[in-house]
Chains A and B, each alone.
Chain A
Amino acid sequence: MNKLTLMAHLVVGYLSLEKTISIVKAMEKAGADFVELQIPFSDPLADGPTIMRACENSLANGTKVKDAFAVAQKLSKEVAIPLLFMAYYNTVFKYGVEKFCRDAKKAGITGLIVPDMSIEEESCEHFLQFCKKYSLHNIQVVSPSSTNERLKKNAKVANGFVYVTARQGVTGARAQLDKNLISFLKRVRQYFAIPIAVGFGISKKEHLKVLKGHADIAIVGSAIIDVINRSKGSKIEENISNFIRELKKPVAAV
């Protein structure tokens, strides 16, 4: 059976840039295998209330796009696990697509998740082209509403891993997984030869238990922000570490 690894998500600059750095370090120590750093955006289309609020807070703290690059630069020297950027396309576009890819690579980023950069617009934007030029994985996102034709189309350009949303909806921790998730993952597997990562609503170890054997990476985002929100400032790193260790318990043994 395939090993199930964990990608932990964090909004850069929530609650501060220093906190982002110390949390990511704690995540690595606790066993996170990847970290997804979301660059905060004013209009995060695919995010539910938890991540939206975290973005608002970070922007209100004055987080700039260049800060995300600086955080990545610092972290990539201090942690060994792969770091990815998640951004909305306007952030990439305003920065300059090529410059964004080049600077991301320079800062030690290994992949980009840009959910609203649809492949139909590639001929105008050259996003995939620049990801390739700077050896960044462009992480494609697919969802339960994706037709087989769409899965095929995405599989053609996807690399690194494919980000599969566990349900049709926006981000946010949920108590239950969608009952059709496993059959959907089987459908995805038919089209993608690369690892499958599952996110949206993944919030507890029982979820990872279910995913084991059907996916390669579990993505946990809003649930981690929920832990931050429940924690006193000085306890955040410790609580996140405990949360990640707990999450990984049922899947730790290969």
Chain B
Amino acid sequence: MKGHFGQFGGRYVPEMLIPALEELEKVYEEARKDKAFQKEFRYLLKTFSGRPTPLTFAKNLTQKLRGAKIYLKNEGLNHTGAHKITHCIGQALLARRMGKTRLIAETGAGQHGLATATVAAKLGFSCTVYMGEVDIARQRPNVFLIEQLGATVIPVKFGNKTLKDAVNAAIKDWIENVKNTHYLLGSIVGPHPYPTINRDFQSVVGREVKQQIKKEEGKLPDYIIACVGGGSNAMGVFDAFLKEKSVKLIGVEAGGKGSKTGENATRFPNGSVGVVEGYKSYFLQDSDGQIQKTHSISAGLDYAGIGPQFAHLKETGRVRFESVTDKEVLEAFKTLAKTEGIIPALESAHAVAYAIQLAPKLKKSEIIVVNISGRGDKDLFIVAKALKDKNFLAFLKEYIKTYE
């Protein structure tokens, strides 16, 4: 059935959103087949976002780990610093096609909000971004940048005050303002057609990897590793390989502080099937179906749900899920910076951390591609604090004085 991935996905929303979702689905179907639309999308990806992003051989890391060859797909070199801008450009073009004048978005780490505010500025939309209070407190630099781009950031004070609550708030805004507003949902979650639309837009990542690795190695990789919050970067890099059975696909979840409830965001194995925020998938929830608190050092992975297609791919066994802890993530962050000269986003550092565990167990002839979904600039404050950098603290203290 349309919009379903096995038993997952669907469109579980109040009647008042159905017409807007039907319109979006219809317009997307038209746009998909429209050469002019595809041409403009590709043009903006190339000239505005800077695609294609490079696939870099991680020579030093490979030598250090003495196992499989590691390649890094550097999505962090996209404009605004992460893969998110790709589906933002795509959806903004759809919004324009539908005659909408306003974009709204939810954001966790701020990357999707930043990318939405950016395309809103570029393509002439007004823009409102919903962000949990907890996330605002840890991602102020992105909040500041979003505001510089002319968008309004609205703090969400309900629930856990993180990503899922921002999604709820954005949906409510959409319900009220559906006539002129497009909800630019930022992952492969939510009601149909969002998981499909965002996957299709993001699938350019995997297609690029396929070409690039064939050119470098003359063959496909053995493993592709990506972090999974909602799942947009992972689905983007996996999609072109779903049918290539020799390529093992690994999603890395946020193991957080540990295995206790509320201290991580590992939907596998701790989640169960539910229907929340308009879609059926795995969620971290209690036996009554109340969504549980989650934690991750990276705001972008701090989410109780997971894209419905991933729930399906987990059940069919096509994608394997692993998790790494906050501590392992920080180590991986440092390692990648020092060995490869690439500072990854904390989200992406999850994928790196798992690759570091996996590579030494593999043969030297095997190839791993790690999706670096974003760069780490946005995490400057979090990482400096986590690493207990005394000089950075001293700098902050001094800087505040000059501010006052």
Contact = CB atoms under 8 A, between A and B. Distances in A.
A116 B12 contact: yes
A150 B288 contact: no
Interface stretch (B131-139, B168-176, B325-333): B168-176
A52 interface: yes
A147 B19 contact: yes
Interface stretch (A41-49, A179-187, A206-214, A231-239): A41-49
Nearest to B290: A42
A79 interface: no
A125 to B, nearest CB: 9
Interface string B212-233: 0000000000000000000000
Nearest to A116: B12
A168 B16 contact: yes
Interface in A142-177: 142-147, 150, 154, 165, 168-170
Contacts of B51: none
B158 A121 contact: no
Contacts of B171: 45
B1 interface: yes
Interface string A102-123: 0000000000000111101101
B97 to A, nearest CB: 19
A61 interface: no
B285 A94 contact: yes
B149 interface: no
Contacts of A116: 12-14, 275, 278
B58 interface: no
A147 B159 CA distance: 33
Given A64-B288, A90-B289, A140 B11 contact: no
Contacts of B276: 43, 90
B15 A143 contact: yes
Name which of B15, B176, B285, B289 has the most chain A CB atoms within 10 A of its CB: B15
Contacts of A95: 288-289
A49 B168 CA distance: 12
B19 A145 contact: yes
B98 interface: no
Contact of B288 (A65, A121, A123, A146): A65
A56 B159 contact: yes
A90 B229 CA distance: 21
A124 B272 CA distance: 17
Interface in B168-216: 168, 171-172, 175-176, 178
A48 B276 CA distance: 17
B288 A45 contact: no
A121 B16 contact: no
Given A43-B168, A121-B11, A170 B175 contact: yes
For the complex of A and B, 9 pairs with smallest distance between CB atoms = A94-B289, A143-B16, A90-B289, A42-B290, A169-B176, A115-B14, A42-B291, A65-B288, A46-B14
Given A42-B291, A43-B159, A90-B276, 18 more contacts: A41-B290, A43-B168, A43-B276, A49-B158, A64-B288, A90-B285, A95-B288, A118-B12, A120-B10, A121-B11, A124-B7, A141-B14, A144-B16, A145-B20, A146-B15, A150-B18, A150-B19, A169-B176
Interface of B: 1, 4, 7, 10-16, 18-20, 158-159, 164-165, 168, 171-172, 175-176, 178, 272-278, 280, 283, 285, 287-291
21 contacts: A42-B290, A43-B165, A43-B291, A45-B278, A46-B14, A90-B274, A90-B275, A91-B289, A94-B285, A94-B287, A94-B288, A115-B14, A118-B18, A120-B11, A121-B11, A123-B1, A124-B10, A141-B14, A141-B16, A150-B15, A168-B178
